[in-house]
């Protein structure tokens, strides 16, 4: 099996991300276990991209090669997330708790769904 193109190395793929729409909010959840707030940088690029950069620091008291089992991944990561809707970069609430980063972003006004009423049955026929 061949791939169409060479993607970035998997090590640079970055944390897994959920994007959730909730009313006029767009909420991004990223799993960044073991990352402390001081080791995480979040940027909104334009109004359609979120850049997540950080480092998973190694904190065990003995060197990695001395672990009986070492399955965690350490080191820097970087990921750009493309947003399906434009957001207001000035209105973003950021929180980092229990290894989950939450970005609560407001969708820009022009992209908010309009409320609309279906036409009343029978009207079209009378006008037409």
Partner 1 sequence: MNDTGSAIERIAEQLEALGEAISADLWRELGRAGTPPKKVPQPRGRAGGAARTAARTGPPLDIYVTPHEVVVEAVLPGLTSPQQVSVSLVGPTELLIEAYLPDRLPDGLYLQRERFTGYCSRLVTLPAPVRPAAAASYEDGLLALRFQRASPGTGSDGVAVLHVPDKVG
| Cα–Cα dist 125/127, whole Å | 6
Q: Which is nearer to partner 1, 69 or 109 (CB)?
A: 69
Q: In the chain, what is the greatest distance between 2 CA atoms, to the nearest angstrom?
A: 82
| Cα–Cα dist 106/13, whole Å | 26
Q: Which is nearer to partner 1, 2 or 97 (CB)?
A: 97
| Cα–Cα dist 12/42, whole Å | 16
| Cα–Cα dist 106/89, whole Å | 8
Are the C-beta atoms of residues 80 and 51 closer than 8 Å to each other?
Answer: yes
Please, what is the minimum distance in Å from the beta carbon of residue 18 to partner 1?
5
Q: Which is nearer to partner 1, 82 or 123 (CB)?
A: 82
Q: Which is nearer to partner 1, 36 or 91 (CB)?
A: 36
Please, what is the minimum distance in Å from the beta carbon of residue 14 to partner 1?
5
In the complex, which residues of this chain contact partner 1 (CB under 8 A)?
A: 10-11, 13-22, 27, 29-36, 56, 60-62, 65-73, 77, 79, 84, 98-100, 102
Please, what is the minimum distance in Å from the beta carbon of residue 22 to partner 1?
4
């Amino acid at each position: 099996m061949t791939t169409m193109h060479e993607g970035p190395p998997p090590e640079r793929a970055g944390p897994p991300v959920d994007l959730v729409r909730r009313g006029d909010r767009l909420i991004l959840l990223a799993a960044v276990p073991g990352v402390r707030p001081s080791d995480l940088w979040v940027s909104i690029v334009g109004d359609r991209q979120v850049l997540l950069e950080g480092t998973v620091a190694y904190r065990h008291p003995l060197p990695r090669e001395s672990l009986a089992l070492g399955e965690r991944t350490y080191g820097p990561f970087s990921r750009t997330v493309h947003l399906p809707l434009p957001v207001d970069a000035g209105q973003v609430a950021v929180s980092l708790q229990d290894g989950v980063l939450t970005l609560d972003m407001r969708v820009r006004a022009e992209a908010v769904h309009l409320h609309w009423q279906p036409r009343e049955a029978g009207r079209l026929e009378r006008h037409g």
